[in-house]
Amino acid sequence: MDQEKYAIVDIGSNTMRLVIYSRDKSGRLTESENVKAVARLRNYLSESGKLEPEGMDVLIHTLQGFQEVTRHHNLNEVRCVATAAIRQANNQEEILERVEKETDFSMRILSEFEEANYGFLAVVNSTPFESGITVDIGGGSTEITYFQKRKLIYFYSFPFGALSLKQQFVKNDVPTAQELKALRKFLKEQFSILPWLKNKKLPLIGIGGSARNLAQIHQEHIGYPVAGIHQYMMSESNVKSVHSMLLGMDFSEIQRVEGLTKDRADIIIPAIEVFVHLMDYIDTDTFALSRKGLRDGVFYEEMIKDFELSIFPNVLEESFYELASDFDINLTHATHVTANATMIFRELEKCGVFSLEPNDTKYIRLGSALYNLGSYIDAEASHQHTFYLLANRTIDGLLHKDRMTVALIASFKNREVFKRNAAMYEDWFTKDELAKYSLFGAIVKLAYSLNATKRDIIKDIQIEASANQELVFKIRCNSDWKPEQYQAEKQKKHLEKQLKKSIQFQFMKN
């Protein structure tokens, strides 16, 4: 059966992109092709606001190049959307007619609200942020949204972007001190017209190529050990350190900076000025990168429209079901392992072994459900594969540190392997956190062994501390428990070592 394929052509002020999405076995639309052209249409807008003939030709020739690709693929649907450069042109009718006549595409010009809203949809459907400020700085406009409890509250579209700021304030490739002063004064004045942004102290979530390049530069600069930039977090000092580094370079040096695409070398400084001033105005120390943006927002709307909603009820749940589909996770088994782990954690907390913090429940649930995921690749090296897959796969709704925590718990084999896996990330965690997550891993491993035959026989677990401080696990089952008992006896040593207590099992008929 042919795979469903959809495409979107995104006509921006700086770049034009063709992205093809394929629907995978979980029903998710995933990016399979991404073709980019640096058209810089904003440069062809005349002072009177007309897209000049040369710019029109660039637009048409680029679209004709894209259609060679779209004709090659058997596409179910192609959407073509345009943003600021075309929206700001006063000869839109002429542009639309030429596109319709000379290409395969019918172009839709997005309003300021639509552009901002699609960015907002991308963020709330792919990140864990319940409230925040999004900023999508394109070539010719900058969209800002403010959302609370995953609902859009305010939006605004500024009629400037990285390319137009460069045109307006920077004569050569890098700004002079005087040009920076004028640019900063302008940005300060512009942001001051939005009182609903002032001192919100919420995360600033960057969307688009300039934000992506900022994150990539920082990752390269610090030798970041984890794959992926979606949901990458930076502090205000991180952003300013990248900014200072670039300001201290000449243009040839900027062009060679790792993580920076060459076509953005002349506009990255004005773009980061926007981020720096917004963080100051919002009074936030958190800059987060969303790799999902306008194009993804369009497709989220498409994916969910049959359900008459535009926002996933739970981003992390959606991600789990994607993982389950991709790695053939037995959902019934995962549910019972999670239930076993939850009962053990509840009972150990009652015994005073630990006190769970708010995020711990999330780590326990995911670590249990994803335990041994790497057996999809190779059962013999399952723990290694589990750690690598979870540590390096983007999981929407999980920040990078959270993802690493789940990877450490779900891949637990023994304390020594845990320490080896955690070694590269020791700076991310305190010693107490690592000790806690190693303990969590040992508990999850035991919970997994209690469903060794995947018969789901465990109905209840109660734990009592005996007079000599031995922990007695009273486990009620609805069927013969010998295989589970054998596995549990084999695995309990990992938990005993960490609790410094001996464990005795009492299996009984429910």
pLDDT at 426: 87
Q: With contact defined as beta carbons under 8 Å apart, do 363 and 409 qualify?
A: yes
pLDDT at 76: 87
Q: With contact defined as beta carbons under 8 Å apart, do 232 and 288 qualify?
A: yes
Alpha carbons 31 and 7: distance in angstroms, whole number = 9
Give the contacts of 181 (CB within 8 A, at least 6 positions apart).
none
pLDDT at 1: 46
Question: In the structure encoding, which two tokens stand for residue 302, read together?
Answer: 């498409």
Q: With contact defined as beta carbons under 8 Å apart, do 459 and 474 qualify?
A: no
Strand partners, 80: 9, 107
CB atoms within 10 A of CB 348: 19
Alpha carbons 27 and 293: distance in angstroms, whole number = 20
CB atoms within 10 A of CB 22: 15
Q: Is residue 358 helix, strand or coil? A: coil
Alpha carbons 105 and 82: distance in angstroms, whole number = 12
Q: Where in the chain is the domain with CATH 3.30.420.40?
A: 5-110
Instruction: Output phi, psi for 171, to 5 deg.
Output: -75, -45
Q: Nearest Cα to 168, choosing from 72, 73, 81, 45?
A: 45
Give the contacts of 231 (CB within 8 A, at least 6 positions apart).
127, 128, 288, 289, 290, 394, 396, 398, 399, 400
Alpha carbons 185 and 193: distance in angstroms, whole number = 13
pLDDT at 3: 79
Sequential pLDDT tens for the chain (510 residues): 467 899 999 999 999 999 998 887 666 778 899 999 999 999 999 999 999 999 999 999 999 999 999 999 989 889 999 999 999 999 999 999 999 999 999 999 999 999 999 999 999 999 999 999 999 999 999 999 999 999 999 999 999 999 999 999 999 999 999 999 999 999 999 999 999 999 999 999 999 999 999 999 999 999 999 989 999 999 999 999 999 999 999 999 999 999 999 999 999 999 999 999 999 999 999 999 999 999 989 877 766 666 666 788 899 999 999 999 999 999 999 999 999 999 999 999 999 999 999 899 999 999 999 999 999 999 999 999 999 999 999 999 999 999 999 999 999 999 999 999 999 998 999 999 999 999 999 999 999 999 999 999 999 999 999 878 899 999 999 999 999 999 999 999 999 999 999 999 999 998
Q: With contact defined as beta carbons under 8 Å apart, do 121 and 311 qualify?
A: yes
Give the C-alpha distances (Å, rounded to integers) separating 197 from 133, 264, 283, 469.
8, 28, 9, 56
SS3 string, 47-104, reads CCCCECHHHHHHHHHHHHHHHHHHHHCCCCEEEEEECHHHHCCCCHHHHHHHHHHHCC
H/E segment holding residue 16: strand 16-23
Alpha carbons 357 and 117: distance in angstroms, whole number = 34
At the fourth CATH level, which superfamily is domain 5-110?
Answer: ATPase, nucleotide binding domain (3.30.420.40)
Residue linked to tokens 């040369």: 54
Q: Where in the chain is the domain with CATH 1.10.3210.10?
A: 317-509
Q: With contact defined as beta carbons under 8 Å apart, do 40 and 316 qualify?
A: no
Q: What is the DSSP letter of 233?
A: E
Alpha carbons 128 and 506: distance in angstroms, whole number = 41
Domain 317-509: which topology?
A: Hypothetical protein af1432 (1.10.3210)
pTM over 0.85: yes
Alpha carbons 236 and 214: distance in angstroms, whole number = 12
pLDDT at 74: 85
Q: Which amino acid appears at position 336 of this protein?
A: H
At the fourth CATH level, which superfamily is domain 113-296?
Answer: Exopolyphosphatase. Domain 2 (3.30.420.150)
Q: Where in the chain is the domain with CATH 3.30.420.150?
A: 113-296
**Angle of helix 209-222 versus helix 236-247 axis, rounded to 10:** 90
Q: What is the DSSP letter of 249?
A: S
Alpha carbons 382 and 379: distance in angstroms, whole number = 5
Q: Nearest Cα to 345, choosing from 463, 261, 184, 196?
A: 463
